Amino acid sequence: MDCGPKYPGSPFITYILNYLKLITNRLIVNIIKSRMKKRIEKICGESENTPNFEEIENSPNFVFTPDENFETIALFDQEGNIVNLNSWLECAYYAKGGWTNNISDFFDGEKFLFLFLLIVPVVYKFIITRVSKS
């Protein structure tokens, strides 16, 4: 029975290192799931439902059923597309896929920082030149 990669040294060290790798991987998966759950609750609200995203993704004919008790939410993607969602399950599915309820989450601050750092020295040089001529 193969228990993963072999490490130099005793079989005990190999066992311990493989065990630590397994525990670390499970911990990372649990952290990701916990963060995703918090993100979904923040965007869509709390629900007692436990969504089966695999079933939704594997069914090409899956149709989300509108929920009259759910207030319609508009979510945005990175390209600025908007989708209006009518059920918690639908909202959770889109939130899991990276959609957000705040368009500023995709604000490209690097572009504006670049322009600011480009323009400020030019304006500074212009002002210093004007003041020194006076």
pLDDT means per 10 residues in the chain (134 residues)?
A: 58 83 88 86 86 84 90 88 92 90 67 83 84 74
What are the residue ranges spanned by the domains of the chain?
11-133
Joined tokens for residue 101: 């309820």
Residue 133 three-state SS: helix
In this prediction the pTM is 0.60
Give the pLDDT score at 8.
59
Q: Which residue is listed with tokens 């939130």?
A: 95
